[in-house]
Structure 1
Amino acid sequence: MAQLERFAEFRAPTGGDDDVDAVAARMRALGAGWPPRDGVAVFNRVYLSVTEEVGRRLDGGAFPDARAALTLAVRFAERYLAAVEAATAGHRPPACWRPLFQYRRHPGVSPLQFALAGINAHIGHDLALALVDSCRTLGCEPADLEDGFDRVGDVLASLEERIREELMPGPDLLQVGDPLTHLAGSWSLERARDGAWASARALWALRELPAVAEEFVERLDGAVGLVGRILLTPLPD
């Protein structure tokens, strides 16, 4: 799959990261170098919380197949870290991530928008590719990773609710027709997860048709990037 291989070029050298603690440490190091209001920093804090929670659940035995869950979590994180590495080096990250890097310092974009745009890119695009990466690493089928996929998704769902509570202005400041309320309510983590699962299964089925798979990934990347650009629409004060 040429497109999958091309995207793998964005993956930063990991030095053999094979556990959640290693990728979490990299996220902490990145966050320490960015201003708190920076849009990528906002998402990085959110994702670090997810990664730490997955690590705690792995340590606590919450995943029946710990090796599969660990592989998926690390491959998933590497996709985000690769996008950061590409942007930092002056290269073009996947289209799904470009809006967040382009608007990261825009004063008219709220922290909630930054967080949702990052989650959209990571779930809508990266999760499907990470699942395929994991299947190749483990020598299994997507169906074999469904339990781990669902359990990691449950962590994301619980944190998404907290993110909305923490980053959304208080109800006294919002009205039904408020643009931020509209934008925040127009994106669904559940639908994004469903789409990622369907995309991963499609890519796996297309693994013997590299030209079709390449086009599929390219279209997926562009579609997720378009949603991200909409989520980052600058809003009036």
Structure 2
Amino acid sequence: MASQPTLTVDQVIERMRQLRAALPEDDGVAVFNAMYLTVTELIGQRLTAGFFDDPVFMAELDARFAGRYLAAVETAAAGGRPAACWRPLFELRGHRGVHPLQFALAGMNAHIENDLPLSVVDTCRALGRGPERIERDYLRVNTLLAQVEDQVRDELLGGPDELDLADPLMHVIGVWSIDRARDAAWASTLALWELRGIPFVRGAFADTLSGSVGMVSRALLTPLNGR
């Protein structure tokens, strides 16, 4: 059975608020942290508002999910190497040629496509539920993420007239979609669930997933000429 999370949702939110206060605003990790804090606060509000069918599961999932991001932060702060999916963001967090929106999307890519399926499976095992029982709640989170992503894009792009279709930034950010990312994460969740009884194969799948997600994040963080 998967281990229990060490943090509650409220503790996760407090830790991300501490990071927001401590990190420079132009730090790439700070950009993602601000967006992720908004999402987590929204989910925290919905846990007691009848939004989810299974708020107990979603609270556990939210804590485990955020714990993977916070573990990457702590690993990097201690001088270690975060998981492959997170390395591009932490390695390029101070690059002046990377637009803030690229940092936000790279963080979302790492967290959704890698950390989310692992966290769903861990939570399912811990609480004795199969993924099919929580799919409706999983899909409900899409509405919250879409809301925050639209807000972040508007804030970081500075307005609809700043860029045209030929702008290099539009080309880079146009290759990633939050809807496709969550669809891919759900497919990975189902695969990992079926592999839960075969540790060697599951581990190989998880390692490959982290590496491939990291490659996409590195592409999203391509420095832009003239910026």
Q: Normalised by the shorter chain, which TM-score bucket?
A: over 0.9
Distance in 1 (alpha carbons) for counterparts of 2:73 and 2:62: 17
- What SS does the corresponding residue of 1:71 show, helix, strand or coil? helix
- Picking from 205, 208, 221, the partner of 1:232 is 221
Aligned to 2:7: 17
Cα contact 2:154–2:160 (8 A) shared by 1: no
Q: Quote the offset at 1:75 in angstroms.
A: 1.0
Cα contact 1:42–1:111 (8 A) shared by 2: yes
Q: Quote the offset at 1:172 in angstroms.
A: 2.9
Q: Does 1:186 align with 2:175?
A: yes
Cα contact 2:196–2:202 (8 A) shared by 1: yes
Unmatched tracts of structure 1, length 5 or more: none
Identity, % of aligned positions: 55
Aligned to 1:160: 149
The one-letter code sitting in structure 2 at the alignment partner of 1:182 is H
The one-letter code sitting in structure 2 at the alignment partner of 1:227 is V
Aligned to 2:81: 92
Query: Which has the larger displacement, 182-191 or 153-162?
Result: 153-162
Query: Deviating runs (4+, > 2 A) in structure 1?
Result: 169-173
Q: Quote the offset at 1:103 in angstroms.
A: 0.4
- Picking from 90, 97, 120, the partner of 1:108 is 97
Cα contact 1:183–1:231 (8 A) shared by 2: yes
Aligned residue pairs: how many?
226
Cα contact 1:68–1:148 (8 A) shared by 2: no
Aligned to 1:60: 49
Q: Quote the offset at 1:232 in angstroms.
A: 0.4
Unmatched tracts of structure 2, length 5 or more: none
Aligned to 2:30: 41
Distance in 1 (alpha carbons) for counterparts of 2:200 and 2:105: 31
Cα contact 1:100–1:118 (8 A) shared by 2: yes
